[in-house]
Amino acid sequence: MAPTVKSTAALLFATLASPASAAQYEQYILAPSSRTLHPVSVYQVNGSVTNAASLTGDAVGSGVFQDVSAVTYDFGKIGDVDADQYIGISFTESSLWISSEGCDATADAGIDEALWFQVDGPGTLTPDRKHERGAFRYLNVYHNTTGSIEVQQITVEFTPMPHWSDNSLRDYTGWFHSNDELINRIWYAGAYTNQLCTIDPNYGSAIVHLGEINSTQGGPKFGPDTWYSNTTISNGSSCLVDGAKRDRLVWAGDMAFAVPAVTVATYDLISIANALDSLFGLQNKTSGQLPYAGVGLFDVYSATYHLYSLIGIADYYLYSGDLSYLRNKWSQWKLGLTFSLSFIDDSGMMNVTSPSDWLRFGMGGHNIEANSIFYYTINQGISLGRALGEDSTLLDSWAKSAADIKTSANRLLWDESAGLYRDNETTTLHPQDGNSWAVVSGVADTEEKMTSISAGLAARWGPYGAPAVEAADAVSPFISGFELQMHLLAGNASAALDLMRLQWGFMLNDPRMTNSTFIEGYSSDGRLHYAPYTNDPRISHAHGWATGPTSTLTFFFSGIKLLSAGGQKWEISPVLGDLRNVDAGFSTNLGLFSSQLTAAEDGSVGSLVFTTPPGSTGSVKLPGVSGSLTSTNGTSVSLVGGMARNLTGGTWTLQRNSVVPAQGGAAAKGLLSPALAFVAAALAFLL
């Protein structure tokens, strides 16, 4: 289990004496060094509170709450008091929802109730475990009675990553560093967001009023909503969920980015496997249909989330190299794919008959996003089938279906005049999701189309990011993750960096955000309003689906691409965009992958050193670069047309023929402040 994985990784770094390691950039890691946390600062004091600040830090203090009063802290536990007083606490992720009445929200209307304690004498007050909040930045402490109460200490227990030992939360197996501080913070905030989304599976689901409280049946006139999280959502002792506050459920779509981000940061495979197992446990064994979400939600069919569950298995196999896990799931996988294949009609494409997707509108018919995801999934299935020695007649029939989807999508859905794909045949809407996915999946069949999509979507960016026109006025950090990859595949690495800085920079730096995690969605004018929801405080501020940059930076910029299980076959194809240097790496069960590169004056790769595991094989792609690669044992291989093939695992260094390296490399590390303060932000609550 995880502790073994981690000690193996630590050993690996030690024995290889690699020049780089996760520990080198520890100052960027947002996870705490211990599970016991105390408030960092006082945000606001209302009424008469003496010495509110004495409750920050880990010393015992004395904050006296006189009459009706309140303090907003970062987080807490409540200590000694007089008799017959009431004290309450509540939590919010965004400062926008700090309230004298309660928490931010988990239901479709209103806010969530505060937790109140009647105090009869000195002691310690502790909420029950099902009132674990999952994520908050602000903790409010209320006193609503006349008289006074003295609070001595506030303590929060950090509950995410329950299967990792208390002082190992910062033991990352991966790292990323470049000359761009914002980009570095984005990588680490993505890693931290997924740690918060890794929960004890016995405390899932905070959506207790789903379908019961809505904009017409809830809200202030009904009073604050009750809330609690006590649904068991998977087996095992940890599980990867969509969001830390809500839904605290397994959603396969969200895993599309959470899984690769976990892989390159913490390599916490068991939490992924537990989540996937819970989805496959809900598969209809007759039809093959997989659920929209895991245990805790009513069952609904979603054409796309069904496919994301299948992609989840393919990803797990790719990153873990665990063939027996794949073999155990294979009959269920084939049944699931056969179910999707049954929706292909005489157009050659899937006809989507269920509107459920990532909460966009208009999901139906021959939809470009769904058919692109389908095309991608079938191709994943063909590689999985080959790894398992599956009957080639079956795999050939899958390949035929995939080819038909691609041909039909390009014939029926490409809009030449717009230079973008239409959502379906009967609309002029050109969606962000389908256009991004068409490129990511390989449905887009010419470079011209890819370039045109890249330019077309970039031209739509507003001051807060890329709009998802298929979801009213939403900015979707989920779909924009696919847009990042689309720009890279279309050859515009700078566009991917620009979008990260614009959109993820906003998500980190705006004062209404947490400065440590990524939000589920917001509106194109920067309001904390996400079109699919009627209730703004409901939005989750720590959502795994918003962590696309973390894996995208590692796979595309440091250029480490795993091509077969565990990385037995790899490709090193870095790009810099406008970055001057990149140093990144991660480990799989096979060993360490790392690459360090700096830019030449023209922005091409000027220097490169990379390491791949012994016994693995791969190739290097450096378009436009001439020179050779030298292994640590002296073997030298020339680049031919910017490529070197059939390299064996080891450490290789690029020698470029005449190039002027730009400033960067080791010098840039000096830009780092050696003691970046750890700012505790979104925190889980328990005690």
Query: Which residues contribute to the site for ligand NAG (CB under 6 A)?
Result: 44, 46, 70, 72, 86, 98-100, 116, 130, 140, 144-145, 185, 212, 214, 216-217, 228, 230, 232-235, 278, 281, 284, 286-287, 295, 345, 351, 353, 362, 364-366, 423-424, 426-427, 429, 455, 458, 470, 492, 494-495, 498, 515, 619, 631, 633, 635, 645-646, 648, 650, 676, 679
Between 351 and 604, whose beta carbon lies closer to ligand NAG? 351
* Smallest separation, CB 373 to ligand NAG (Å): 16
Indicate the SS3 state at residue 540.
coil
* Smallest separation, CB 496 to ligand NAG (Å): 8
Between 123 and 281, whose beta carbon lies closer to ligand NAG? 281
- Output DSSP code: residue 459: T
**607 close to 598: Cβ distance less than 8 angstroms:** yes
DSSP H or E run through 3: helix 2-16
* Smallest separation, CB 658 to ligand NAG (Å): 25
Between 192 and 586, whose beta carbon lies closer to ligand NAG? 192
DSSP track, 309-355: HHHHHHHHHHHH--HHHHHHHHHHHHHHHHHHHTTB-TTSSB-B---
Alpha-helix residue ranges (DSSP H) falling in 201-348: 252-265, 269-280, 303-320, 323-341
* Smallest separation, CB 545 to ligand NAG (Å): 21
**576 close to 603: Cβ distance less than 8 angstroms:** yes
* Smallest separation, CB 497 to ligand NAG (Å): 8
* Smallest separation, CB 494 to ligand NAG (Å): 5
Between 139 and 665, whose beta carbon lies closer to ligand NAG? 139
* Smallest separation, CB 37 to ligand NAG (Å): 16
- CA 320 to chain centroid: 18
- Output DSSP code: residue 677: P
Between 578 and 663, whose beta carbon lies closer to ligand NAG? 578
* Smallest separation, CB 229 to ligand NAG (Å): 8
* Spatial distance between the Cα atoms of 570 and 152, rounded to a whole number of angstroms: 56
* Smallest separation, CB 360 to ligand NAG (Å): 8
Residue 495: C-alpha distances to residues 477, 484, 502, 578 (Å): 16, 8, 10, 10
Residue 398: C-alpha distances to residues 137, 340, 385 (Å): 48, 11, 10
* Main-chain phi, psi angles of 162, to 5 degrees: -60, -20
Between 215 and 392, whose beta carbon lies closer to ligand NAG? 215
* Spatial distance between the Cα atoms of 86 and 108, rounded to a whole number of angstroms: 29
* Smallest separation, CB 655 to ligand NAG (Å): 15
Facing residues of 156 across strands? 37
Rg of the Cα atoms in the chain: 25
β 148-151/156-157 pair status: unpaired
Tokens of 675: 């003691």
* Smallest separation, CB 5 to ligand NAG (Å): 22
DSSP track, 348-374: SSB-B----SSS-S---BS-HHHHHHH
Residues 6+ apart with CB under 8 A from 5: 173, 267, 268, 269, 589
Between 665 and 682, whose beta carbon lies closer to ligand NAG? 682
Residues 6+ apart with CB under 8 A from 557: 178, 493, 574, 575, 576, 577, 579, 582, 584
Between 63 and 665, whose beta carbon lies closer to ligand NAG? 63
Between 62 and 100, whose beta carbon lies closer to ligand NAG? 100
Q: Among 508, 487, 607, which Cα is nearest to 184's?
A: 508
* Main-chain phi, psi angles of 537, to 5 degrees: -65, -5
* Smallest separation, CB 504 to ligand NAG (Å): 13
* Smallest separation, CB 612 to ligand NAG (Å): 9
Between 6 and 430, whose beta carbon lies closer to ligand NAG? 430
* Spatial distance between the Cα atoms of 50 and 72, rounded to a whole number of angstroms: 14
Between 630 and 661, whose beta carbon lies closer to ligand NAG? 630
